[in-house]
Structure 1
Amino acid sequence: MDVLISGASVAGPVLAYWLARAGFTPTVVERTPQLRLGAGGHAVDLFAPAMTVAERMGIVPTLREAALGQSTLRLERPGRPAIDADFTGLSDAFADGSHVEVMRGDLASTLHDVTRDDVEYVFGDSIRELAEDERGVDVVFDSGRTRRFDLVIGADGLHSAVRRLTFGPEEEFHHYLGGYLAVFTVPNQHGTPGPTRLYSTVDRVVATYPVPRTDQARAVLLFRRAAQLSYDRRDVAEQKRLLRAEFAGEGWEVPRLLGALDDADDFYLDSISQIRMDTWSRGRVTLVGDAGYSPGPAVGGGTTLAMAAAYVLGRALAEHRGDHAAAFAAYEDRVRDYVLRCRRVAPRTLRSGIPRSRAQVAFSAAAMRALPRLPSALRHRILADRASGTLSSFTLPD
């Protein structure tokens, strides 16, 4: 069976890998001209389900070599002493090695390397039209090319074109959680290795961390807003102006970071939102990862969820020998509870991660100072009971 997968970031290549092994013929189409290879993008956490998939793909050694290895968090407060917290306990809490933090670009590079010999990749194109009949799906691409496939899978992220073409406008499924995330590259003025440096105030959090093997750092800016911003997602200059306006007058190193915006060619801004759908499948089309159930950028463990769900979908299609109706139903049944658990993580993370008052700013600082000093068993329990515990709670089928 010929299967078209839209999206070459995480879920798409994972699914393509397992489909190729099962005898399918996967094609991955990606709208960007090429992947941002190497240590591009932002840092992502791979918890137990993702690491199990990675182990079965034989890529764990590569991911461990690329791991950030960050364990120290430094809270910097103007006019007050910095607080350094060693969070080695987070790794200790997963003593079986089931947690790794890598740059998204390193993950994408690794997934591309392990699939490129068996999977057709088409870069610089995207799906414009889908027309399904009883025997397949006719696809028209933005380039004007047309091809026919047995199945189409949308792995194309929060703003999925496949979802829009199959299920309707994004507004019907998009649920805003009350905040925004911006990530971009800045010069590393503090050396490597170094701690993740954190600044927080009411409704604002700013963090920087060094990028291994480069002279760069990543700046991460999060902020609350009761109502969504109105802007053109294709107009990066407009988005940078909005970010400057949101953080105007802020202290610490924020002016320097905003000054680096003009030179940042990897700028990313998006709302912290979820995609909520009753079903992710219709006819010969289904969705995987953020396209079908984004739990929320930076707060919901979307990368781990995407890898686990892509594996389950590939396994279902193989088990049901291409009977897409049965396979899609089995896939949805298997991952639905995990999707719902990840969805509940995001609002909690957003509430605790971005202070809503001066009292919460002070409490967060006190908690950060106290946590590393707790007895090891208690610290591990606290860490495992938080978001990391939920994200690690899905057991993949053999």
Structure 2
Amino acid sequence: MTERTVLISGAGVAGPTLAYWLARAGFRPTVVERAAGLRSSGSPVDVRGPAARVADRMGITAKLREASTDATSLKFVDDAGRRTGRVPMSVLGSGTDIELPRTDLAAILHEAARDDAEIVFHDSITSLQQDGGGVDVTFERGAPRRFDLVIGADGLHSAVRRLAFGPETAFVEHMGVYIATLPLTEPPADRTELVMYNSPGRAVAVHPSRGHGIAAFMFRGDAVPGFDYRDTALHKRMLAEAYEGAGWRVPELLERVREADDLYFDAVSRVRMDSWHAGRIVLAGDAASSVSLFGDGSTLAMAGAYTLATELERTPDDAASAFRRYEETHRKLVEPKQRNVSTAAALLIPATRRGLAARNLGTRLVPLVSAARRLVPARAA
């Protein structure tokens, strides 16, 4: 039997997970990644529930735990830095949940997959032409190639989705919030404490991460016409305007933003599609069903990748049926998360002083079970 070839676009979380499992299912995976290599920074993300079970099956749980953060509590503060509430992390998840920097998660997944997959950095797909027997692919730098299947695991701004399904505007919904993350250069004062500051409509969180902290800015805002997630100068202007007059450490952190060359900025968005597959092309991770940038993206990416690979192993000669089963199964995990985006935003970024006071009171009465560990968002899988 001829070994089936699969091109996976994206080497974040879903991509290497897919490569690992597809290789074991008898496929020959190739991963192409636009970046020149693995990223050197990343916000903390969670591996929980179904993703924790996938990690166990891959034999990487011990490595994930070695890379995990030390955060044990979430503290809310006011303009002067006084505590207004605290939530212990121990009440927010099961003992199998692991929080670690997204970069470390991607590196561990890459290490697991690299011996069984061809991984090409610093290149991207520019066109896809499919027929009954395969998909002809052209690349920005590499020579054209033909694959049996193509999987877009290239995040919220997926090139595969744009080429195979249509423009981003047809599927990506702005959720009224923007997010930015910035690596800090100094070790945190307390490695066990995540600190969050709010004023109406905006929030700043500092996460201890591992060794050096991560600052996250989250603020409410309408969609900006022609917004470009790659325009760093625009992003810095938006942050300066959104946080004018803010207290706590915000002026100091904004000064770091002005000098930064490693700023991540994007709109919190929800991807909704009637179908995640078209012929021999299918989407995974945030490319198919971005929940938001608040969290659960990495967990859903790993779980979805495993489901997709499992279904392709069941019917390797009938990809269309495998894609349909994958969608039917994985949508059951994704859709409840997508419905809860507005609730999470209301808890993390109250729009009014009254809402902020109610949230702070809630931290003393009822733990923010569904939102507190999603404070610092992951980059797209």
Q: Residue 256 in 1 paired to residue 257 in 2?
A: no
Cα offset for 1:220? 0.5
Cα offset for 1:229? 5.7
Alignment deviations for residues 199-237 of structure 1 (CA, whole Å, 9 cap, x no partner)? 10100111102231x3x2111010011344643332212
Cα offset for 1:247? 1.0
Percent of paired sites with the same residue: 44
For 2:284 and 2:192, how far apart are their aligned partners in 1? 36
For 1:223 and 1:22, how far apart are their aligned partners in 2? 43
Contact map agreement 1:228 1:271 (CA 8 A) in 2: no
For 1:229 and 1:187, how far apart are their aligned partners in 2? 34
Residue among 214, 218, 223 paired with 1:222: 218
Q: What letter matches 1:204 in structure 2?
A: R
Q: What letter matches 1:183 in structure 2?
A: T
Report the counterpart of residue 231 of structure 2 in structure 1. 235
Residue among 349, 352, 357 paired with 2:352: 357
Cα offset for 1:147? 0.5
Contact map agreement 2:87 2:363 (CA 8 A) in 1: no
State which drifts further: 137-146 or 275-284. Answer: 137-146
State which drifts further: 125-134 or 245-254. Answer: 245-254
Report the counterpart of residue 56 of structure 1 in structure 2. 57
Q: What letter matches 2:70 in structure 1?
A: G
Report the counterpart of residue 261 of structure 2 in structure 1. 265
For 1:188 and 1:366, how far apart are their aligned partners in 2? 32
Cα offset for 1:60? 0.5
What does 1:87-98 align with in structure 2 at a 5 Å threshold? Answer: 87-90=88-91, 93-94=93-94, 97-98=95-96
Residue among 316, 336, 344 paired with 2:339: 344
Q: What letter matches 1:306 in structure 2?
A: A
For 2:361 and 2:307, how far apart are their aligned partners in 1? 41
Q: Residue 27 in 1 paired to residue 23 in 2?
A: no
Q: What letter matches 1:7 in structure 2?
A: G
Residue among 128, 145, 148 paired with 2:146: 148
For 1:62 and 1:229, how far apart are their aligned partners in 2? 43
For 1:162 and 1:337, how far apart are their aligned partners in 2? 23
CA RMSD of aligned residues (A): 1.9
Q: Larger relative contact order (C-alpha < 8 A, sep ≥ 6)?
A: 2
Residue among 270, 281, 294 paired with 2:290: 294
For 2:355 and 2:130, how far apart are their aligned partners in 1? 53
3-state SS of paired residue (2:274): coil
Report the counterpart of residue 312 of structure 1 in structure 2. 307
Report the counterpart of residue 275 of structure 2 in structure 1. 279
Cα offset for 1:188? 3.1
Alignment deviations for residues 321-369 of structure 1 (CA, whole Å, 9 cap, x no partner)? 2421111111111112222112112121012211111111112222223
3-state SS of paired residue (1:259): helix
Cα offset for 1:58? 0.5
Contact map agreement 1:6 1:28 (CA 8 A) in 2: yes
What does 1:1-398 align with in structure 2 at a 5 Å threshold? Answer: 1-37=4-40, 40-79=41-80, 81-83=82-84, 85-90=86-91, 93-94=93-94, 97-188=95-186, 190-212=188-210, 214=211, 216-228=212-224, 230-299=226-295, 301-371=296-366, 383=369, 386=370
Cα offset for 1:144? 4.9
Contact map agreement 2:172 2:271 (CA 8 A) in 1: yes
For 2:222 and 2:228, how far apart are their aligned partners in 1? 19
For 1:348 and 1:229, how far apart are their aligned partners in 2? 25
Gaps of 5+ in 1: 372-378, 390-398
State which drifts further: 256-265 or 302-311. Answer: 256-265
Equivalences, count = 370
Contact map agreement 2:72 2:192 (CA 8 A) in 1: no
Q: What letter matches 2:174 in structure 1?
A: Y
Contact map agreement 1:19 1:26 (CA 8 A) in 2: yes
State the TM-score, normalized to the length of structure 2. Answer: 0.92
3-state SS of paired residue (1:265): coil
Q: What letter matches 1:223 in structure 2?
A: F
For 1:14 and 1:368, how far apart are their aligned partners in 2? 36
Q: What letter matches 1:291 in structure 2?
A: A
3-state SS of paired residue (1:329): helix
Q: 1:307–1:388: structure 2 CA closer, same or farther, 3 Å change rule? A: farther
Report the counterpart of residue 377 of structure 2 in structure 1. none
